[in-house]
Amino acid sequence: MTGFFEQGELVGVLTTQPLGRVLDYKAPEGGCFAGAFVEVPLGPRKVLGVVWGPGKGDWDISKVRSVIRVLDAPPMREDMTEFLTRAGKYTLTPLSAMLRLATRAPGLGNPVSMRKIYRLGTGKADRMTPAREKVLTVLQDYGGLSFTLGELAEQAGVTSSVIKGLVKQGAVREEDTPRDTPFPRLDPNLPGKALSPDQAAAVEALAAQNGYRTTLLKGVTGSGKTEVYLEAVSRCLEQNRQALVLLPEIALTAEFLKRVEARFGARPAEWHSGVTMTERRRVWRMVAESGAELVVGARSALFLPFRNLGLIVVDEEHDTSYKQEDGVLYNARDMAVLRASLCGAQVVLASATPSLESWANAEAGKYQKVELTSRFGEAVLPKMRSVDMRPEKLPAGRWISSELKSEIAARLERGEQSLVFLNRRGYAPVTLCRACGHQIGCDQCDARMVEHRFLKRLMCHQCGETKPMPDTCPSCNVEGRLAAVGPGVERMGEEVAGLFPEARIAVLSSDLFGSARAMKAQIEEIADGGADIIIGTQLVAKGHNFPKLTLVGVIDADLGLQGSDLRAAERTFQLMRQVAGRAGRAETAGLALLQTFQPDHPVIRAILSGDEDGFWRAEAAEREAAGVPPYGRMAGIVLSGPDVGAVFDLGSHLAKNDAPLRRVGAEVFGPAPAPIARIRGRHRVRLLVKAPKGVALQQALADWTANLRLKGDLRLAIDIDPQSFF
């Protein structure tokens, strides 16, 4: 996308409004470049847009309006428009929605605090001198870019008075622009840590890559993956290219920022939901202007306007939070690979327990595989044992086995930390009336309400609706017979406090913190030894460093194995190994105890035996036989609406008219009620499309759904490569 459009020329502008097409406008006074961010009139409103190319000219020319103004934002680069286009095609998302992802900084065109910048004007200089010529040449060569007085003078090799002279005559335009300060320079030449031989080999394998290439960096927790990819960042910075490190959880950034600072002498830019609006704006701009060399962020950082991206690291690449589950349904891991391929960058996928997708890509030689086999230094892998819960005769409302109890007691004695792991938020998953058997559900969803005792409320984990804990049963009106059934982390906190009244206990669950910042702070404090026993959900499984932690007790290792998710085994395997990996990171050997009612389950056995490759091979064989990802393709279709009959009718209509799918060898299954058949009052029906690998599935899906008329409040969402099936 190159080219300049003179004033009045037709340009096509993509806006963030869901219009289904690029609109024609006339280029504004002074003209505009392709890629320029602009403000355009749309009905009575002014909206943000990007000059996408020449106009189509298929609109009544007398009705075509003018672009209002070119925003003072660095223009969109060609690799970005290509990325948005390709990612939109892959996920079947309209371009307008893709553009929204790429413009998630507030007030892109609004000045905040000002400074003067210079760009090409429309006037003519009365007389040309070689110095004046140089200034105009620089401005022409750099297209839409603007310069500060100092930058322009330096580029052109002239004094600032030459530029001022051109401004007076209108040949150069002087504008006020917001001041966003660049991030401090990172110094790649500061010494890194002395690397172990396999770390050094890994760094070398990464350095051997030039241009686009994906590497799976596999190594147990504590093996030094972070240390290795920091070296790749260092090399990228040396080459004056930008780097992006994606982390699955905001709470992880605190520790990582410290490590970056220790390694490069300054902090990188941060991009996630905990970052202020002003800072977002600054990051967005600085990334575009090369004022930010390294960004650490959440998945949406992939849509920042990098100017010269050389490396993307996806840490904990198997993590399910990389898949965005609402709005644009994209998987940041896959989009990172796409983005990198378009700008010649390297991708590092780091994990102790890679996704089967990445494992298979590495096996097939599509990805380079680099492995760190041992923990760094003295640290050794934790011992793992199962605790058979069948002979354990625990009283009602108790979940901690005698073995786990005595191991925790031993840690308390030695001043070490223990982690009690249960992947369930709240106090109890079910509230049951002992008089009539009624279970309290959400009025809006087909889901039980979960008691949150800290908040003194019942909460629906689907829609977030809460209500006070009632005294009487809403069904039979009997008083005082409501009982909590099953454990959540809050309840585990109670049990642990009862068993160890002297211990300092911390419950870590994402819903217990008002803000990401508060959560970060608490995790740091705990890691420093601020608690003896940590009770946590999967929040703690994600890469946090707890140096004093030597015991992990998994309350219910069977939890993830229930349900029909095709990745149930993979997820349980990953989560259990990940959690176990929290134990014994420093010099002390750790122990992981898995409480289970099915100690002979193949997944539990694979976890304990440590035969990872065996597990992956078995899992891969099963998926291949079933023709499911990564050996086949899948798309999930969710239909929803307030009227259950209409939703089903639409589902049946789609299932019957499946010719476009059959043409490419794809099959459709369903319609069937979704596992959660109602959310927020909307009934939900699912269809599942399976296709052989390598077919043009997206095109077929687009054809299949192209002529649908979604009457009333019916909605259809297509999820390519679905990760969840609720």
Determine contact, residues 575/423, Cβ cutoff 8 Å.
yes
| 199 is a contact residue toward ligand ADP (CB under 6 A) | yes
Which range in 56-64, 188-196, 264-272, 453-461 contacts ligand ADP by CB under 6 A? Answer: 188-196
User: Of residues 35, 53, 222, 722, which one binds ligand ADP by CB under 6 A?
Assistant: 222
Nearer to Zn ion, 679 or 691 (CB): 679
227 binds ligand ADP (CB under 6 A): yes
**What character string, x for contact with ligand ADP (CB under 6 A) and - otherwise, covers 422-461?**
----------------------------------------
Give the ranges where 448-537 is alpha helix by DSSP (H): 489-499, 516-525
Query: Can residue 196 be called a binding residue for ligand ADP (CB under 6 A)?
Result: yes
For the bound state, the minimum distance from the C-beta of residue 709 to Zn ion, rounded and expressed in Å, comes to 29
Q: Of these, 19, 97, 195, 702, which contacts ligand ADP (CB under 6 A)?
A: 195
Contacting positions for Zn ion (CB under 5 A): 442, 444-445, 460, 462-463, 465
Can residue 722 be called a binding residue for ligand ADP (CB under 6 A)? no
Q: 585 CB contacts (<8 Å, ≥6 apart)?
A: 221, 222, 375, 379, 545, 546, 547, 549
| Helices 253-264, 516-525: crossing angle, 10 deg rounding | 70
Residue in the structure block whose two tokens are 């035969």: 611
Structure tokens at 190: 């500061």
Q: Does residue 173 sit in helix, strand or coil?
A: strand
Report the nearest approach of ligand ADP to the CB of residue 333 (Å). 17
Residue 445 binding partner per list Zn ion, ligand ADP, none, with a CB distance cut-off of 5 to 8 Å that depends on partner kind: Zn ion
| 8 Å CB contact between 229 and 245 | yes
Q: What share of the chain is helix, strand, coil (3-state, %, to 5)?
A: 35, 25, 40
CA torsion sign for 422, 427, 430, 436 is positive
Q: Which residues pair with 467 in a beta bridge?
A: 458
Q: Does 574 bind ligand ADP (CB under 6 A)?
A: no
Nearest to 484 by CA among 407, 408, 398: 398
Question: Residue 444 binds which one of ligand ADP, Zn ion, none, with CB within 5 to 8 A depending on kind?
Answer: Zn ion
Count Cα atoms within 13 angstroms, Cβ side, for 161: 0
Q: Is 224 in the site for ligand ADP (CB under 6 A)?
A: yes
- Tokens representing 33 are 């470049």
In 3D space, the residue among 429, 427, 425, 421 whose CA is nearest the CA of residue 595 turns out to be 421
Scan for tokens 């004056």, then name that residue: 240
612 touching ligand ADP, by CB under 6 A:
no
Q: Contact with ligand ADP (CB under 6 A): which of 219, 297, 305, 590?
A: 219
Nearer to ligand ADP, 223 or 572 (CB): 223
Q: Which stretch binds ligand ADP (CB under 6 A): 194-202, 380-388, 461-469, 471-479?
A: 194-202
**225 is a contact residue toward ligand ADP (CB under 6 A):** yes
The angle, 0 to 180 degrees and rounded to 10, between the axes of the packed helices 568-580 and 612-626 is 160
Nearer to Zn ion, 678 or 686 (CB): 678
**DSSP letters along 611-631, please?**
-HHHHHHHHHHHHHHHT-TTS
CB 314 within 8 A of CB 113: no
Residue 417 engages ligand ADP in binding (rule: CB under 6 A): no
Using rule CB under 6 A, residue 223 touches ligand ADP? yes
**Cβ–Cβ < 8 Å for 671, 651:** yes
Binding flags for ligand ADP, 16-35, as an x/- string (CB under 6 A) = --------------------
Q: Are 690 and 667 in contact (CB under 8 A)?
A: yes
Tell me whether residue 168 or residue 258 sits nearer to ligand ADP (CB atom): 258
In the complex with Zn ion, the residue whose CB is nearer, 445 or 557, is 445
**Helix 225-238 and helix 253-264: axis angle, to 10°?**
50
State the first-to-last Cα distance of the chain, in angstroms, to the nearest integer: 41
Count CA atoms closer than 13 A to 263's CA, side-chain side: 23
Q: Which is nearer to ligand ADP, 225 or 411 (CB)?
A: 225
Contact between 508 and 526 (Cβ < 8 Å): yes
Does position 226 interact with ligand ADP (CB under 6 A)? The reply is yes
- Part of the chain binding ligand ADP (CB under 6 A), chosen from 191-199, 384-392, 458-466, 642-650: 191-199
Say how far apart CA 573 and CA 441 lie, in whole Å.
31
Among 118, 322, 359, 376, binds ligand ADP (CB under 6 A): 376
- Residues 299-318: x where in contact with ligand ADP by CB under 6 A, - otherwise, as a string: --------------------
Q: Say which entry of ligand ADP, Zn ion, none residue 21 contacts (CB below 5 to 8 A, set by partner kind).
A: none
Tell me the closest approach of the beta carbon of residue 430 to ligand ADP, in angstroms.
36
Which residue among 56, 115, 193, 366 contacts ligand ADP (CB under 6 A)? Answer: 193
Nearer to Zn ion, 452 or 567 (CB): 452
Q: What is the DSSP letter of 303?
A: G
Q: Where are the alpha helices (DSSP H) in 415-508?
A: 489-499
| Closest distance of CB 457 from Zn ion, Å | 13
Range in contact with ligand ADP (rule: CB under 6 A) among 216-224, 322-330, 508-516, 697-705: 216-224
Closer CB to ligand ADP, residue 116 or residue 258? 258
Q: Where are any strands of DSSP class E within 23-152?
A: 23-26, 32-33, 37-42, 45-54, 69-70, 114-120
Interface segment toward ligand ADP; rule CB under 6 A; list 214-222, 235-243, 298-306, 413-421:
214-222
The continuous run of DSSP H or E covering 90 comes out as: helix 78-91
Judged by beta carbon distances under 5 to 8 A according to partner kind, the member of ligand ADP, Zn ion, none in contact with residue 460 is Zn ion
Residues that bind ligand ADP (CB under 6 A): 193-196, 199, 219, 221-227, 376
